[in-house]
Amino acid sequence: MNSHVPRRATLAQVAELAGVSTMTASYTFGRPERVSAASREKVLAAARTLGFTAPDPAARSLRRGRAGALGVVLGEHLTYAFDDPQATAFMAGVAEVCAEQGQAMTILPVADATTDVARISAAAVDGYVLWTTEDGAPVVDAAIATGRPVVVHSGPAAAGAHVVGIDNRAAARAIGRLVFAGGTVPAVLSFPSPLRVRRPSSPVPTRTTRRFP
């Protein structure tokens, strides 16, 4: 028994029916910002008439070798990116640059140690920015292993990744000299250290008066 399978409409046929060039039809599906509204509507109408299905974005990315997105590996729960003022400002800065470059931004939170590495390795992104990661974090090696560009915010340093940050020690001393000028009992408030700090077993010494250098 012979079975007839209808041939799938081609992009060239869509372009011919719409009365535009094949390049214009291609841009309609891949880079619509390059096509006028009138031409785009003609191409879409022709595609509907012929039953043409636009190319799958993932497949198109594989052909081009680019995903058009930057992955931001957040070493916190996803909601942290929206709840913490510092995280919000950081994400906004990355998003601003992505918008200027015409790129998307994919947030990859560290949520489950058993799945984080696989999820980050499989992310459809062109590179990674890592933030609030710790020394020895598996996601750092996972990002580097993809062979894509990796930038770590302030550390940890790792072979195959670039580190962008400030000299925290120098900055702390500069702030201390300004804020504690003339102070006798300076105090520093900070986030908890990710490393275990051995607490002294001896009693806390009595308060003494000292000048900040």
The pLDDT, as a whole number, for residue 1 is 45
Residues 144-196 have pLDDT tens digits of: 988 899 999 987 888 889 989 888 888 888 888 888 887 777 777 776 665 55
Instruction: Please report the DSSP string for 30-84 in residue order.
Output: H-GGGS-HHHHHHHHHHHHHHT--PPPHHHHHHHHT--SEEEEEESS-TTHHHHS
The pLDDT, as a whole number, for residue 106 is 93
Coil, strand, or helix at residue 209? coil
What single DSSP character describes residue 108?
Answer: E
- β-strands 69-74, 128-131: how paired? parallel
CA distances from 182 to 133, 134, 170 (A): 36, 36, 20
The pLDDT, as a whole number, for residue 91 is 93
Q: Over 80: is that where the pLDDT of 199 sits?
A: no
Residues 10-43 have pLDDT tens digits of: 888 999 999 999 999 888 877 778 889 899 889 9
What is the pLDDT confidence band of residue 89, given thresholds at 50, 70 and 90?
very high
The pLDDT, as a whole number, for residue 5 is 43
- β-strands 69-74, 104-109: how paired? parallel
The pLDDT, as a whole number, for residue 108 is 92
What is the pLDDT confidence band of residue 65, given thresholds at 50, 70 and 90?
low
The pLDDT, as a whole number, for residue 137 is 85
Residue scoring higher pLDDT (61 or 9): 9
Quote the percentage of the chain above a pLDDT of 90: 25
Mean pLDDT of the region 94-109: 92
Q: Looking up tokens 């077993």, which residue turns up?
A: 201
Contact 14, 3 (CB under 8 A): no
SS3 of 130-167: the string is EECCCCCCHHHHHHHHCCCCEEEECCCCCCCCEEECCC
